[in-house]
Amino acid sequence: MKIATYNVNSIRKRLPIVLQWLTLNSPDVLCLQETKVQDPDFPLEAFANTGYHITFQGMKSYNGVAILSRTPPESVSTGFGDDEEHKDDPMRLMHVVIHGITILNTYVPQGASLDSPKYQYKLDWFRRLMQYFQCHLSRKKPVIWCGDMNVAPESIDVHHPEKHLKHVCFHETIRKAYYKTVAWGFIDVFRAHYPKKQQFTFWDYRQPPALEANRGWRIDHILATPCLAETCTKVAVDLSPRQAETPSDHTVLWAQFSGEIK
DNA sequence: ATGGTCGACTCTCGA
């Protein structure tokens, strides 16, 4: 199973990137975030000849998630389905089962600033996500949780960490919220594969020479339950979306899993 | 202390 995650920042703008990436890399599953399009306007026809099935849930202008897969998912749900459900949750969390493997695709709220209610919402979102794990998943089964987590877990995962202690993607409170959620039973397959490597997945548009100066962040992640993480043979970040005609701020992170899954 | 650049969409918000 080859699975990839990519924050497209508008599926309509990044269509060429996505289509080319599918062709060149043939993933089994590609999870997308920030599609930024409501369902009736989703560019379905562009994928008609790719051989991929697409599951999507979006809204006007913001958020939106989608999953491309070679075979249609055996099941699909979006949002937390709890009594705290917020209107954008279904555009941030998509849960599918493909070949018996549970896949959660998330676009975690960015959080704006530490003093914003949006930051509290982000902290709470991780708490709700862990509750969701507890209710709906088993850590003994093969589960993949991937997406744009908007958290750089360690100092090595952000340029100039000392300057970002109050950043919503690096503050210790959000890192703890993230760690706690991960600790439910997930392994960060990139970090497991490369314990010391600095490899960013995102470079902010607002710092034009960011890529050249390597002022980036590792905020896109693929995590797996131990039985699956054990079978991970390769993890890589593909920088090609940064070099496209309409470059994106995020890159494609992918992982290959092989071997027997119980 | 603020702005830098994108994308979607009404002129401003979110990242």
pLDDT of residue A208: 77
Alpha-carbon distance A180 to A183, whole Å? 5
pLDDT value for A261: 53
| Protein CA A207 to sugar C1' B6 (Å) | 11
Domain architecture of chain A: domains with CATH: 2-257 (3.60.10.10)
Tokens of A33: 């975030």
Residues with CB under 7 A from strand B: A 9-10, 12-13, 36-38, 60-62, 109-112, 118, 150, 205-208, 246, 248
pLDDT given for residue A207 in this prediction: 84
Inform me whether the pLDDT recorded for A198 exceeds 60: yes
Ordered strands of the A29-33 beta sheet: A53-57, A65-69, A29-33, A2-7, A252-257, A232-238
- Predicted structure pTM score: 0.97
How do residues A1-22 score in pLDDT, each as one tens digit?
A: 999 999 999 999 999 999 999 9
pLDDT tens string A40-90: 999 999 999 999 999 999 999 999 999 999 999 999 999 999 999 999 999
Beta bridge partners of A69: A29, A53
Residue among A28, A89, A148, A220 flagged as catalytic = A148
Which residue approaches B6 most closely, CA to C1'? A205
- Could you tell me which of A203, A199, A179, A180 has the C-alpha nearest to residue A190? A199
> What confidence tens digit (pLDDT) does each residue in A207-226 have?
877 777 889 999 999 999 99
What is the pLDDT, as a whole number, of residue A260? 59
CA dist A117 and A197 (Å) reads: 34
